[in-house]
Amino acid sequence: MKLFKGFVVFVAMSMTALMACGADSSSTVQVATAGNAVPGQGLSQALQPEVNESYVYYDIFGDNETDLRRQMTQNGIKWDDGKTYDALTTWNVKWYYDYYCTTEGCTARSFLTKVDITFRYPRWKRPENPPETLAAKWDNYMANLIIHEIGHRDLAVEATAELAEAVAALKAPDRAELDRQITALADQRMTRMNSDEREYDATTVHGSTQGAVFP
C-alpha cells in the first residue's frame, strides 16, 4: 500500500447583505477529531472533519445609522456574483486518504478532511459615548449576523462529514475505480452543498428573517 495523493475542492458562498472594505484580521481554531483507523484495516469509521476558522474585519465609522449603513453599502464585500454583502463566509475543503487493498478489492483508509472557514464581518469603530440606542441596535444586528454566517459554516462542515461517511462505505475492484468513485461522490456532495447554501439564503432572505438587518 502506498499513500495516495490528496484531493482539493474549493467552494465559496456568500452570506447576508451589503458590506465594506477589509482591515485587520484575527483568527481562532476549532478542531474536531475522531479516532484513527485501525492499522492494517480499511476505514472502520468516518473521521470527523478538522475545522479551522479565521476572521477578517473591515472597519466602519460613525455615530448614526445612516453613516454606518452607507459605508457598508458603498464599501462592502464584492463577491464574484456581482453583488455586495455585509458579511461573507467562504470555505476551502480538502481531503486526503490512502488505500487498503486486498484480493477482494480496495477501500479508502484514513480518509481525512479539513475545512478552512473564513468569516468576513464589519467592525464598527465606535466613537466615545455612542448613542445607546445605536449601540444596542448594532449589537443586536451583529449577533444575528453571526448566527446567519455560522449557519453557512455548519452546512459546509456537515457536507464534509457526510462525504467522509459515504467514502467509508465505498469498495472498488482497484485503486483507479476507487478514485473515480470518490471523485464522483465529492462532486455530487459539493454540488448539493451549493444548492443547500442557496436555499438557506433564500429561506432566510440572506439573514433578514434571523434579524440580520441594519438599521
What is the pLDDT, as a whole number, of residue 46?
A: 62
The answer to whether 156 and 117 have CB atoms below 8 angstroms apart is yes
Q: What is the pLDDT of residue 48?
A: 87
62-98 burial code (b ≥16 CB/10 A, e <16):
beeeeebbebbeebbbebeeeebbbbbbbbbbbbbbb
Contact 93, 10 (CB under 8 A): yes
> Quick one: cell of 116?
478552512
Strand extents, DSSP E, the chain: 7-14, 25-29, 50-61, 77-78, 84-85, 88-102, 105-125
Domain positions in the chain: 7-204
pLDDT at position 39, please? 35
Place of cell 436555499: 199
Q: What is the pLDDT of residue 45?
A: 54
pLDDT score for 7:
33
| Amino acid 24: pLDDT | 31
pLDDT the model gives residue 80? 87
Stretches where the chain sits below pLDDT 50 are 1-40, 43-44
